[in-house]
Structure 1
């Protein structure tokens, strides 16, 4: 028995040593870390009052020892230009104070009246940094699609709304549904201003849709619950006033592909067995997303 135990211990030790030999320390300087790329993000809409572009540099993913050497990725000295046909406008950099929590992300921006965003028109974004890096992209603004109805319903005494709309036939369309539930509670005797809660849709894509396979038909959003689970009080008796505002954004393909990949990436986060999700980019010379959308609004007054 002692001989068998010794043989087993010998093989176990050999196995441990062979596995340990597979682990080698590597000098990060020998990995050939790729130089940082421009990361550009901008979303244009005819409803916006400001044209804004975010410009940063990508960060390495080799390790903390290298990442910590990078002090801030915002690019503040680039020349950012938006153009359409023979019209163009330069966007200056806005250095927003860190104390301004409502606008905590520095960006390049300009008044939208200087270059109106119009459905069907194609816009070009050009970013040139002080050291000569350049990134460009184009996007075409989709036509708006008006929501048709907002329907209030309940499931197990829990109230929700669903929106629907007529998809234009004979073309590829993409949508992003969003909304707000506005109300004043009857329990608040002195309340004058309404509370605004963002709606969250329960479909797998969180309000993001393609008309693939349903072209030209009536399309429906997922359910957006207005009351928390387990709430038993009568819905209407809770509110002095209540209304739902639905935003149906017609988005371009770049917007849809980018947001759909972000949703899949967040869904697989913390899952070591999930396949990696590559975030698509339509930025030539860099990374990011330059996309267009068009917003249409429908309001349902509940009380």
Structure 2
């Protein structure tokens, strides 16, 4: 049953219900009537985009069906329509208006017999990374030693409000080095080949930072926690300057790419969704783990609609 609940939420990472209540998907009980699923994340200086699909009920093992005939409207803080999203492909709807930081947005979507769903959320102002540094270090784990890039970064957490963060690392590759062997001469030649489009990957990183792990589920026998998107709050450092440390395996990014640290300042809804989704995948396949309820904030349906802003540094 976890498989269907996860499929319901795959798409975009992303709110507060219009009613002000929070909702989680229930994995127990009888099969449910198919419902409309809306997934969408919005961020500063980017257009609005959502994906519409329909859930097949919790027990049905069939894939989700994307919806191409829906109507999707985005509303501003004063209740006015600011954007009408249009279907492009695979149930994805995009608009033309750019979102702004420190602003709230509502979404209303309708898809025939599946009815109408709605949600509301906001984009916090990005908390900047005020200092960062890198160093190469060796880490021994399970009798294996590897070279890691250690990344330290510092933020000044705004006081007086609850702040939520999602940490990610990206590697962008622009070219690769091709090796050509000439059997006649025995010589090797090297050629730099550029990709038609840069290849951008979100990377796994590890950490033993107790602040970062204070809200995670680190296994008792583990020395490091691995993640491709670690979510945490400022509960232990509200209003303070705080330094964090993570590790990236050196052989995963190479010398011909750019490494970037992304610190998302997210709404509580985005944080809750990211945290529970990561926990879902972290416990997937464990027969002894409790079923994970993935956060949803869509009124009358399933999915997520949530905002974030991001501070980026190139390492």
TM-score by length of 2: 0.68
1:244 equivalent in alignment to 2:259: yes
Larger radius of gyration: 1
Report if the CA contact (8 A) 2:102-2:124 is conserved.
Answer: yes
1:219 is matched with 242
Report if the CA contact (8 A) 1:202-1:222 is conserved.
Answer: no
For residues 91 and 263 of structure 2, the distance between their equivalents in structure 1, rounded to whole angstroms, comes to 28
Equivalent residues, number: 244
For residues 51 and 245 of structure 2, the distance between their equivalents in structure 1, rounded to whole angstroms, comes to 31
1:55 is matched with 52
2:82 is matched with 88
Which among 199, 203, 208 is matched to residue 199 of structure 1?
203
For residues 282 and 245 of structure 1, the distance between their equivalents in structure 2, rounded to whole angstroms, comes to 30
2:313 is matched with 298
1:79 is matched with 71
1:123 is matched with 105
Tell me the secondary structure at the aligned position of residue 192 of structure 2: coil
For residues 300 and 232 of structure 2, the distance between their equivalents in structure 1, rounded to whole angstroms, comes to 29
2:127 is matched with 145
Structure 1 unaligned regions, length at least 5: 1-30, 97-104, 230-234
1:106 equivalent in alignment to 2:107: no
Cα offset for 1:52? 0.8
Alignment deviations for residues 25-60 of structure 1 (CA, whole Å, 9 cap, x no partner) = xxxxxx974211111111011132x32111111122
Cα offset for 1:168? 1.2
TM-score by length of 1: 0.71
Cα offset for 1:87? 3.8
Report if the CA contact (8 A) 2:137-2:150 is conserved.
Answer: no
1:285 equivalent in alignment to 2:300: yes
For residues 177 and 120 of structure 2, the distance between their equivalents in structure 1, rounded to whole angstroms, comes to 50
> Which stretch shifts more, 284-293 or 241-250?
241-250
Alignment deviations for residues 112-139 of structure 1 (CA, whole Å, 9 cap, x no partner) = xxx3311121101001122260101000
Which among 154, 165, 176 is matched to residue 166 of structure 2?
176
- Structure scoring higher RCO (CA < 8 A, sep ≥ 6) equals 2
Tell me the secondary structure at the aligned position of residue 92 of structure 1: strand
For residues 245 and 258 of structure 2, the distance between their equivalents in structure 1, rounded to whole angstroms, comes to 18
For residues 52 and 146 of structure 1, the distance between their equivalents in structure 2, rounded to whole angstroms, comes to 25
Identify, as 1 or 2, the structure richer in strand: 2
- 1:200/1:215 CA distance change after superposition, 3 Å: same
For residues 201 and 119 of structure 2, the distance between their equivalents in structure 1, rounded to whole angstroms, comes to 35
1:262 equivalent in alignment to 2:277: yes
Report if the CA contact (8 A) 2:73-2:81 is conserved.
Answer: no
Which among 251, 260, 282 is matched to residue 228 of structure 1?
251
- 1:72/1:175 CA distance change after superposition, 3 Å: closer
Report if the CA contact (8 A) 1:207-1:221 is conserved.
Answer: no
For residues 86 and 71 of structure 2, the distance between their equivalents in structure 1, rounded to whole angstroms, comes to 8
For residues 167 and 246 of structure 1, the distance between their equivalents in structure 2, rounded to whole angstroms, comes to 17
